[in-house]
Amino acid sequence: MEELVPISALQHYVYCPRQCALIHVEQVWEENLYTLRGQRLHQTVDVPDSALRDGLRVERALPLWSEKLGIVGRADVVEFLPDGTPYPVDYKTGPRRARRADEVQLCAQALCLEEMLGRAVPSGALYHHASRRRREVRFTAELRAEVEKVVAEVRELLGNDRLPAPAADSRCRDCSLVEACMPHALRGLPAWLEREWK
Amino acid sequence: MISQLLNTLYVQTQSAYVHLDHDTLVVEVDKTVRLQVPLHHLGGLAVFGNVLISPFLIHRFAEDGRSIVWFDQNGRFRARLVGPVSGNVLLRRAQHEAYEDPDRRAFLARRFVTGKIRNARHVLLRAMRDYPDVGSRVEAAARELENCLKEANRATDLEEIRGVEGRAAAVYFSVLDCLILNKDAAIRFEVRTKHPPRDPVNSLLSFAYTLLAHDCASACEGVGLDPQVGYLHALRPGRPALALDLMEEFRAFLADRLVLTILNRRQISEKDFIERPGGAVLLTDQARRTFLEAYQRRKQEEITHPLLRQQVPVGLLPHIQARLLARYLRQDAAEYAPFVAR
């Protein structure tokens, strides 16, 4: 049987393959990622709950899976429009910035919902906590194809259990795993040893 | 929890009760609140003797990855809080595989020992620079350590590496007394004694090494390494061999230098020790408190990590080195380089 890929890993992978491997292979920083930023925010959305708000049925912390893609996860929030169409909303702590990684993650949730409920899920939204604004994402054919490609790549990464080399680029500045990753130290290690450790 | 060095709270008031109140830790003595600290200031808790800790506080600490260490009233280790088995089974397997591979095992043992010798030598060189009249014996010892270093670098056999390490330690301790500028007759160092220490300097050194060993064990566990599977130190049930390996590179830099500073500044003097019949020498509560405060302050000081080229608090060095070691074991880094003071 193929390993199930966590939906959150897709987002990590698109941002940085090494970040993905650090979290899902090395298992080093999951707790830190959340303790640092998301924990407070997710406390409000992480409790399984079902409620009616403004005439919409709202499900929180809804388990998601797709047997076709072999992915599994949990939606922060799924709203059900009056006609019954599911509308996933993912909560982000960062600023309101379009990130492909977030879109891929949200679209993967939509693909799960389509398979679970047998209904088309044409769009969803990213909620940016910093600005308290929503940004709608349309699940285009192109985005759906990208999800499938990313799932396959992540499955391979998790299967071979080696860490990809550090990025050591501008992504590292915003990355909460930079201390576990040591991108610059590891890049500089051979030269440093040559110089200092004769 | 590598990102932030937080304070360790030491509680040695007997019959104190430590418990959780929302997100703060409360210390009560005789049902009176003595201290209240927000959890986000705390990295760990160390208690000595008869100090009670509420189960909810223990659960919370385990969940957050904060440490709790229990000592007896004399500062001897009793127990440590361990949460759910952390992290990466692949890392622990790699740790065992490196143990089974004679070359990798010797490589790591060599690096720990050379790190130790370099840092010991550094303490001597520093003393020679700061106090030009410490004497030619210190200079000779520093030269001898230089030779040990060369030998250790060449050694490929574990026994040989351990032999060089023993010799280097003897050379280093043979001149440690020259570095004690406080001329009190009671504060002299002749030879390293332990189990139990038999003079004040040795009892301070032992206490410092105990604290350091636990910090190194926590660092190993913090990155998902098994503190008991080491390379230089032989495996023995109950012995945290990897924590002891990792500690080698910090003994002189963190423990010895602090002990010397405290003695030279006369922050601790003859009256702070209790001699027991037969010759064991213990620290008084006051001496322990003074030392813990100094240790805590030292851990907050920032230095530039030579490889990371980044300012880091001294107390995080064991965590950083444990992380680098884990990277080497997982073959993410080509080599392991011990911390070396400048």
Name the more confident of A68 and A160.
A68
> Binning pLDDT at 50, 70 and 90, where does residue A26 land?
confident
pLDDT, mean of residues B88-103: 94
Q: In the prediction, which pLDDT does A190 show?
A: 86
What does the pLDDT read at residue A35?
45
Q: Is B94 on the interface with A (CB under 8 A)?
A: no
pLDDT tens for each residue of B267-323: 988 889 888 888 899 999 899 999 999 998 999 899 998 888 888 889 889 989 999
Looking at the predicted structure, is the pLDDT value of residue A92 above 70?
yes
Q: Taking 60 as the threshold, does the pLDDT of residue A40 lie above it?
A: no
Which one-letter amino acid corresponds to residue B239? R
Q: Is the peptide bond before B338 cis (omega within 30 degrees of 0)?
A: no
Query: Residue B65's closest chain A neighbor by CA?
Result: A31
- DSSP strand pairing (B17-21 vs B302-305): unpaired
CB A182 within 8 A of CB A18: no
- CB < 8 Å to B330, chain A: 26, 163
Q: What is the mean pLDDT of residues B227-233?
A: 96
Q: Model confidence at B1, in pLDDT bands (50, 70, 90)?
A: very low
SS (H, E, C) chain A: CCCCEEHHHHHHHHHCHHHHHHHHHHCCCHHHHHHHHHHHHHHHHCCCEEEEECCEEEEEEEEEEECCCCEEEEEEEEEECCCCCEEEEEEECCCCCCCHHHHHHHHHHHHHHHHHHCCCCCEEEEEECCCCEEEEEECCHHHHHHHHHHHHHHHHHHHHCCCCCCCCCHHHHHCCCHHHHCHHHHHHHHHHHHHHCC
Is B87 an 8 Å CB contact of chain A? yes
| B324 reaches A (C-beta below 8 A) | yes
Measured between alpha carbons, how far is B287 from B12 in angstroms, rounded to an integer? 12
Q: How far is B26 from chain A (nearest CA, A)?
A: 22
**pLDDT score recorded for residue B84:** 65
CB contact under 8 Å between A182 and B324, yes or no, is yes
In which band, very low, low, confident or very high, does the pLDDT at A39 lie, cut at 50, 70 and 90?
low
Are B334 and A190 inside 8 Å of each other by CB?
A: yes
Nearest CA in chain B to A35: B64
- How high is the pLDDT of residue A46? 65
CB-based contact B332:A186 (threshold 8 Å): yes
- B216 pLDDT tier (thresholds 50, 70, 90): very high
Give the count of beta carbons closer than 10 Å to the beta carbon of residue B302: 13
Q: Quick check: A182 and B340 CB within 8 A?
A: no
Query: Mean pLDDT across the stretch A96-123?
Result: 93
Contact A31 B90 (CB under 8 A): no
Chain A hits for B221, CB-CB cut-off 8 Å, are: none
Q: Would you place residue A34 in the very low, low, confident or very high pLDDT band (cuts 50, 70, 90)?
A: very low
Residue B142 has pLDDT above 90, yes or no: yes
| B153 → chain A, closest CA residue | A198
Selecting from B224, B323, B333 the residue whose C-beta is nearest the C-beta of A189 gives B333
Shortest Cα distance, chain B CAs vs residue A3, angstroms:
17
CA distance A128 to chain B (A): 25
Question: With 90 as the cut, is the pLDDT of residue B171 above it?
Answer: yes
Q: B125, exposed or middle or buried, with CB in 10 Å at 0-12, 13-18, 19+? A: middle
Comparing CB atoms, the residue among A28, A161, A185 nearest residue B87 is A28
Average pLDDT for chain A: 86
Q: pLDDT for B40-57, tens place per residue?
A: 888 889 898 899 999 999
The two three-digit tokens of residue A74, written as one number: 């949990």
Lateral strand order in the sheet of B32-38:
B32-38, B24-29, B17-21, B52-53
- Tell me the pLDDT of chain B averaged across its residues: 90
CB B25 within 8 A of CB B10: no
What does pTM read for this prediction?
0.79
Query: Smallest CA–CA separation between B262 and chain A, in Å?
Result: 31
Q: A23, A25, A27, A39: which to substitute to probe chain B, counting the most B Cβ within 10 Å?
A: A27
Is the pLDDT score of A51 beyond 90?
Answer: no
How far, rounded to the nearest angstrom, does the alpha carbon of residue B314 sit from its chain's CA centroid?
11
Query: Does residue B65 or residue B198 have the better pLDDT?
Result: B198
Q: What are B278-287's contacts with CB under 8 Å, separation 24+?
A: B279/B198, B280/B196, B280/B197, B280/B198, B281/B196, B281/B197, B281/B198, B281/B199, B281/B200, B281/B202, B281/B203, B282/B74, B282/B196, B282/B203, B283/B75, B283/B203, B283/B204, B283/B207, B285/B12, B287/B204
* Residue A98 pLDDT > 80: no
CB distance A192–B306 less than 8 Å?
yes
